[in-house]
Amino acid sequence: MLYTRKGDSGTTKDFKSKPGERKSKSSCQTEALGALDELNSFIGLVKVEAAGAQWKIDGSGKDLPEIILWCQQCLFSVQAEMAGADKRVGQGKVAEMEGWIDSIEKEMPPITTFFISGGTQLAALLDVSRTLARKAERRVVAGAEAGELSPDPATLAFLNRLSSLFYALARLMNHKSGITEQPPTYS
């Protein structure tokens, strides 16, 4: 059954809830879980849009849809951890992501300014993914500061690096499409 009616009063539970124990759907933990879910759902759209991308990241052998699926799988581990399960992404996933970012940066001109989002549709979607990753990271940090969440240090690093990965991928999509990044004019 897709509904239970148990949350109709604005409450929910997590993996560590005792029988009959419920918490507000506006809690920091629930906000963090919602932001992570929003990010994971949105990058599903990115994965569908990237289905035709044929390039591979140097050294990884992975194409863009494979990288996005990897991110989604990792986000499920982060979501489970934030919901109280004994799951972690671990430092190895952070290192793997850093390797991809480093490989992408070698293909690109160095960053000397901010850039206006856009270019290709895929680059724009990846840029939205970057902002959603930052929002999810802020919600997890807020939950930790409120004492509702205890994220593993590798989880915090993973969330921080994830937005960097999406930014690097957005830049790469434009670069591979021959689109020059446009800095803001601050007019």
Instruction: Please name every residue paired with 128 in a beta bridge, in sequence order, or none if there are none.
Output: none
Q: What is the pTM for the complete model shown?
A: 0.89
Cβ proximity of 89 and 78 under 8 Å: yes
β-bridge mates for residue 11, sequence order = 24
Structure tokens that stand for 137 in this block: 């990271």
Going by pLDDT thresholds of 50, 70 and 90, the confidence category of residue 39 is very high
Cα–Cα distance between 33 and 170 in angstroms, integer? Answer: 25
Task: Note whether 65 and 51 are within 8 A (CB).
Answer: yes
Confidence of residue 7 (pLDDT cuts 50, 70, 90): low
Q: Return the structure tokens found at 182.
A: 């446009």
Q: Domain locations in the chain?
A: 27-176
Per-residue pLDDT tens for 99-147? 999 999 998 888 878 888 889 999 999 999 999 999 999 999 999 999 9
> What's the average model confidence in pLDDT over 17-39?
81
Strands (E) located in 31-180: none
CATH superfamily of 27-176: Cobalamin adenosyltransferase-like (1.20.1200.10)
